[in-house]
Amino acid sequence: MLTAPSPPRQAEPAGDPRRWVMLAVVVCATFMSSLDTFIVNIALPTIESALHASFAQMQLIVAGYTLAFAVLLVTGGRLGDLYGRKRLFLLGTSGFTLFSALCGVAPTASLLILFRIAQGGAAALLVPQVIAFIQVSFPASERPLAFSISAAVGGTASVVGQVIGAWLLVANLFNLGWRAIFLINVPIGIGALLASSALLRESRTTSLHRLDYSGAALLMLALTALIFPLVLGARTGWPLWSQISLALCLPFLLTFLLYEQRVTRQGRLPLISLALLRQRRFLAGLLTNLLANILFAGFLFLLAFYLQIVLRLSPLQASYVFLASSLSFISSSSLSPLFSSRLGKWSLSVAAFLVTLGYLFLLLAALWLVGQWGLLPLVVALCILGSGMGSLVIPLQPKVFAGIAHEDVGAASGMYTTATQAAAALGTAVIGLIFAAFTATYGSAQPAFVLSLLVLTLLSLVLSLTVLPLRS
């Protein structure tokens, strides 16, 4: 497929002798931001009791972070392109650490919501800079491994978030209770801030363009219209406002794309280079990332319900079952470069097959084996699924970003990460809606869980198709 001509690329950067230490520093910040997307879920009942929060406030504690994080990612990436990636990373890390501390000492639910929104906004400034940092600071031969490490750390945080949250609640460090899940970020953030200030080198595009403020506002509007009802609508029975918001999402998005096309024709720098969406590899990678995270978020939602409602495990016991997928994800992530080199262009297809196999085994375990063999069949299925996900999402990033020009890498990073966040909201909302509908129909969570798993299994077959353009 023909692509639009892109601006001249900068020369490949010389490898900085400290680049691997620098990578270790920046992925610490990635770990924090990914962890905080999931860790708060396990503490919601405790927070509700301690702060006397209403149901609506509890929803906003979760949704505020997700929404601010998702809608500002593309803008955060482009700001790094224009004004310096180190500068934006330091600003984001400082803000994230500060607002984590404020979340940890928040005296009321209203203030906690406000600080969570600010925390998500700060995360949106720092996260896109990590991918951009790898793209501009590592020679091409080392980027796949650097991308793999970064993606593995972020993916591990999302998988173990609920486990760490459960452990912190049970340990009750210094009698902090639920506040420890936020305050744990403070020493990590301070360490990452000091180290990155000393180690990172500044990079930005050579362009003198300014930020496309109107484009940023339109994109935020479109993403808010999509993500806000997905996060809150499913929990409140899809009221009228959520339906209207979802209906407006597509017109807002089309308006944004038409505006960006106009900006490009005028010779100005758009928030998103539409040429990126005409690159077959990048578009296929975005779709694969979107679908993989829909499957992953839907799986986490279903499994939490199955373990605690059907099998009647406590939150801590359920978190130990989650460890099966966590450990297999981490193991396959660390082996993914070897896996990719051995299987070559078929590595992503094999990984997608493992994901489907994991869902099929989960179906088998839920239907027949759990009652006879205890939790062992479930653990085996989770290991297969975790291995497939780790082998898929980790090598995906270097393949997607291989052909991105340096001047677009920040915006492309923001688009990729936004797809991840939108998919998490979409997967939870849609699978939650399907699960609720099946529960109402059959009057029991067990058949609803099995039928919802069947939907995820069918979706995983589509995943095998989206990875095909990435084989080259």
150 and 298 share one domain: no
- Whether residue 1 is predicted with pLDDT greater than 50 in this model: the reply is no
Alpha helices in 174-314, H assignment, sequence order? 180-183, 185-199, 213-232, 240-265, 274-277, 280-305
Q: Which of 182, 200, 218 is the last residue of a domain?
A: 200
- Whether residue 415 is predicted with pLDDT greater than 60 in this model: the reply is yes
Distance of alpha carbon 274 from alpha carbon 265, whole angstroms: 11
Q: Residue 48 has which token pair? A: 């509700």
295 and 421 share one domain: yes
Report yes or no on 228 lying in a domain: no
Residue 359: half-sphere exposure toward Cβ, Cα within 13 Å: 27
Distance of alpha carbon 318 from alpha carbon 304, whole angstroms: 7
Report yes or no on 10 lying in a domain: no
Q: Which of 200, 231, 256 is the last residue of a domain?
A: 200
User: pLDDT confidence of 472, banded at 50, 70, 90?
Assistant: low
Distance of alpha carbon 265 from alpha carbon 212, whole angstroms: 14
Predicted TM-score (pTM) of this structure: 0.78
Confirm if 80 and 204 have CB atoms less than 8 A apart: yes
Confirm if 317 and 449 have CB atoms less than 8 A apart: no
Residue 2: per-residue pLDDT: 37
Q: Which residues contact 466 (CB under 8 A, 6 or more apart)?
A: 284, 287, 288, 291
287 and 387 share one domain: yes
Q: Which residues contact 55 (CB under 8 A, 6 or more apart)?
A: none
194 and 300 share one domain: no
Provide the angle, in degrees to the nearest 10, between the axes of the packed helices 409-442 and 445-466. 150
What is the number of domains present in the chain? 2
Report yes or no on 382 lying in a domain: yes
Q: Which residues contact 456 (CB under 8 A, 6 or more apart)?
A: 295, 298, 299, 302, 359, 431
Q: Which of 200, 222, 241 is the last residue of a domain?
A: 200
Report yes or no on 12 lying in a domain: no
User: pLDDT confidence of 385, banded at 50, 70, 90?
Assistant: very high
Task: Please write the tens of the pLDDT for every residue from 105-141.
Answer: 999 999 999 999 999 999 999 998 988 888 888 887 8
Give me the chain's average pLDDT, please. Answer: 84
CATH code of 416's domain: 1.20.1250.20
Provide the angle, in degrees to the nearest 10, between the axes of the packed helices 213-232 and 409-442. 20
62 and 165 share one domain: yes
Residue 462: half-sphere exposure toward Cβ, Cα within 13 Å: 14
Residue 6: per-residue pLDDT: 40
Domain encompassing residue 468: 272-472
User: How large is the average pLDDT for residues 64-73?
Assistant: 87
Residue 208: per-residue pLDDT: 53
Report yes or no on 44 lying in a domain: yes
Report yes or no on 252 lying in a domain: no
User: How large is the average pLDDT for residues 312-340?
Assistant: 80
Residue 48: per-residue pLDDT: 87
298 and 382 share one domain: yes
296 and 443 share one domain: yes
Distance of alpha carbon 193 from alpha carbon 28, whole angstroms: 10
